[in-house]
Chains A and B, each alone.
Chain A
Amino acid sequence: MIEILQYGFMVNALTAALLSAIACGIMGTYVVVKRIVFISGGIAHASFGGIGLGYFLGIEPVICVIPFSIVSALSIGEVSRRRGLSEDAAIGIIWAMGMAIGIMFISLTPGYAPDLFSYLFGNILTVPYSDLLIMLLLDVVIVTIVYLFYKEFLAISFDEEFATVVGVPAHRLYLLLLCLVALTAVVLIRVVGIILVIALLTIPATVSRRFTDVLWKMMVLSMIFSAMFSIIGIYLSYLCDLPSGSTIILVSSVVFLLSLLIPSRHIFKY
């Protein structure tokens, strides 16, 4: 296995796997415990509009998708709170709207859209060096903000209403949390693609949840699982010439299903 490290693209792919594991271990934990899986899926899909806009304006799509995904996160966070509007309907609408905007922009862009497939389904074997820098930067932002607001995020995740009563600006912090989910989606686009982002946000955290009752330990475990899934996925996709994004997700899914076979009473929780 060592000899494949001679290839520059392989080193980039493994670096991307580790960098994405940091974001998805931390934010995936919040997504799972706060039960915002569907919202996060909506944010990730809606940010496809940013990819389209990037093509249209001739800007690097990964850069364009950052502001776009933040706007999607804020709109989903606000719209889903409206009284008289069902939350899942609001999410579904913004989910589809963002994707439609993306497709519209791409069709308006003259010529052929290169790499389009890799944004949708990911291709970790072709991650350029510049994207690694963006991923690193986003990781730093996510880790810093979660470090600063760890106790507030824990309070609003457990009981948002009570947190409001004791004076935590719960709604604003909730929107901040959704923005971090949006940034995580950006980090994961290159690894598994927009369509499969939600799998890496949920599977490692869900598997980790079975092994610990402590939030920060769950984050660390999720990072380890996520890195493991990606690295195994990369190796298998290289070996068998399979699409990397779906290989990573299938590896994760198999581990998830296997973890269900261990009865909970046999699991010692750390």
Chain B
Amino acid sequence: MKGEVIGLRDVCVYHDDLPVLEDVTISIRSHDFLGIIGPNGGGKTTLLKVMLGLITPEKGEVKVLGGDPARNRRHIGYVPQHSLFDHDFPISVMDVVLTGRAGQRLFGRYTDQDKKLAHDTLKMVDMLPFAERQIGKLSGGERQRVFIARALVAEPEVLLLDEPAAGIDAHIQTEFYEILEKLKEKMAIVMVSHDLTAISIYVDKIACLNRRLFYHNSKELTSDDLEAVYQCPVEFIAHGLPHRVLKEH
């Protein structure tokens, strides 16, 4: 398909015979800004890892930029769940961002171009003044911006974010989503979250995931979709047009 950056067809993943993803089919095109919502344990992180080639599905086909995900994943910027790393690690903000360039060539030091890119990317996310700070000595929102910079410094064509807003204050989340707004001019963005309201304001398309994926290539979900995903009736709040996620009902 033309303009497709990531394509999954009938993907199934099992952990110890338990299905985590079932028959997931989705096509992400350049400049898509897709939000994926779903309950915890619904397979959201697994789905991202399948796109990155970190998990090989038992069934189905995964294409990244038309090829093998393990080979083409260097064109994907990945922002993992930020709570999962060691905050005490002796590394500066600048060096964290530089690790985004570590795969460019094996052996030796970072080049001047690597350093310039890291510098510019930190500037873009307003974190340049913190470049020499140890990574643990930042607030949650600041750290999240550093991880975005680390993903962007390899100049990706698509950005995958795993629960980027978790544990960040609401007013800082807004700043963070504004960064994403700017980025979507340049690349496709896939954001996974369990926070439906935040996602609905910014993304252009929404998918719902709980083992199975419900996606209509649009920003609308039906109440049936949500019920199927959350396995119980979901209380809707209709926000008026700019925030609308659900069809009028």
Chain A residues at the B interface, C-beta cutoff of 8 Å: 33, 35, 84, 148-152, 154-155, 157-159, 161-169, 209, 212-215, 218
Answer whether residue B78 sits at the interface, using C-beta atoms and an 8 A cutoff: yes
**Which chain B residues lie closer than 8 Å to A164 at the CB level?**
54
**Which chain A residues lie closer than 8 Å to B89 at the CB level?**
33, 157-158
Q: Categorize the interface residue count of chain B.
A: 20 to 34
B205 to chain A, nearest CB (A): 24
Interface of A, helix, strand, loop or mixed by DSSP: helix
Interchain residue pairs with CB less than 8 A apart (30): A33-B89, A33-B90, A151-B99, A151-B108, A151-B109, A154-B91, A154-B95, A154-B99, A154-B102, A155-B102, A158-B85, A158-B89, A158-B96, A158-B99, A159-B85, A162-B78, A162-B150, A163-B103, A166-B74, A166-B99, A166-B103, A166-B154, A167-B73, A167-B102, A167-B103, A168-B103, A169-B106, A213-B91, A213-B92, A218-B90
Number of A-B contacts (CB under 8 A): 77
Tell me the complex Cα distance, A155–B114, Å: 14
Among residues of A, the one whose C-beta sits closest to the C-beta of B103 is A167
B76 to chain A, nearest CB (A): 7
Q: Verify B80–A151 contact, CB threshold 8 A.
A: no
Q: Verify A165–B104 contact, CB threshold 8 A.
A: no
Q: Verify A155–B99 contact, CB threshold 8 A.
A: yes
A136 to chain B, nearest CB (A): 24
- With A154-B99, A166-B101, A167-B103 already in contact, the answer to whether A213 and B74 are too (CB < 8 A) is no
Neighbour of A163 across the interface among B76, B91, B99, B110, CB < 8 A: B99
For the complex with contacts A151-B99, A157-B89, A161-B80, 5 further pairs of A-B residues with Cβ separation under 8 Å are A151-B98, A151-B110, A162-B80, A167-B104, A214-B90
Neighbour of A35 across the interface among B86, B103, B107, CB < 8 A: B86
